[in-house]
Structure 1
């Protein structure tokens, strides 16, 4: 039985009283992703900030730390959202005081997005406990386990990145 009480995973049945198998790893990864998604919902930095808002803000904070300005089109591509959704997202983040729009330094027609002062501290404060617990879990691994986990996650990322979405049946 899995930790959350389900006796089988999504199309990957588990067998009790056997050695762990590859499908058990997939089931554990799926459970982790479910828990992570639920945690992100619980730790939003403000009641109006959704998961996409938080992801956008984290990306902008990271870009700011690297000294890079981010155009809305680049952020939309990173988040996998349409330009219309991007406009709504940016408007919401600007209105909430989390993001500012600035003129692009070399292209007068373009704008770049930057996290507003204090946005990094607000996000860090809200996610600090989760990061601390995750780091403690990672630090409990042996060097061999770390290598195995990193190898596995790299292979999973490659597998997911290689997926091509098939067209819907009947669509033209």
Structure 2
């Protein structure tokens, strides 16, 4: 039997509203991502791979296919299939390392980047407008909240 009992306090109502908004945001985000994937013939795993590659490339720390397999929680063979498919469709390219030519890094290819920019630009403009409404201290709180929620979700996912 659960020990959780809904509380009817202003804070409890606000917490429920925040969780509901977060749930709604995740849901609509998934639908937007699904629309991009469907429009460009991508599997949801392909899109997750692109997101991982893009984030690491922006951070200046490009991924290898093996690292991508770990992030996607798939076998290295499955990750290679994803990379092959994305490369064939112009979304990714493989790039040999400068210092260690045996290392092959995954890079977001220009045609794929252009498709993503075109599709997501309207959302980026809307997001920028929302972010502009917050001062630095408020953004710091939002960042701390999202980081904490991300950790909570990641921990639960690992348990599953």
TM range (shorter): 0.7 to 0.9
How many angstroms does 1:71 deviate by? 1.0
Higher helix share: 2
In structure 2, list runs of 5 or more residues that go unmatched. Answer: none
How many angstroms does 1:78 deviate by? 2.3
User: CA contact under 8 A between 1:12 and 1:23: conserved in structure 2?
Assistant: no
TM-aligned CA distance change 1:38 to 1:109, over 3 Å: same
| 2:140 paired with 1:162 | no
TM-aligned CA distance change 1:138 to 1:103, over 3 Å: closer
TM-score by length of 1: 0.71
Comparing 157-166 and 120-129, the one that deviates more: 157-166
In structure 1, list runs of 5 or more residues that go unmatched. Answer: 1-10, 167-172
TM-score by length of 2: 0.75
2:6 and 2:137 mapped to 1: Cα distance? 28
User: CA contact under 8 A between 2:90 and 2:111: conserved in structure 1?
Assistant: no
| 2:64 paired with 1:71 | yes
Aligned to 1:60: 53
- Partner SS, residue 42 of structure 2: coil
Cα deviation digits, residues 85-142 of structure 1 (max 9, x gap) = 2122111101112222233444454422222233322211111111111221222235
What is the RMSD of the two structures over their aligned residues, measured on CA atoms?
Answer: 3.0
Higher Cα radius of gyration: 1
| 2:26 paired with 1:33 | yes
Comparing 92-101 and 29-38, the one that deviates more: 92-101
- Partner SS, residue 40 of structure 2: coil
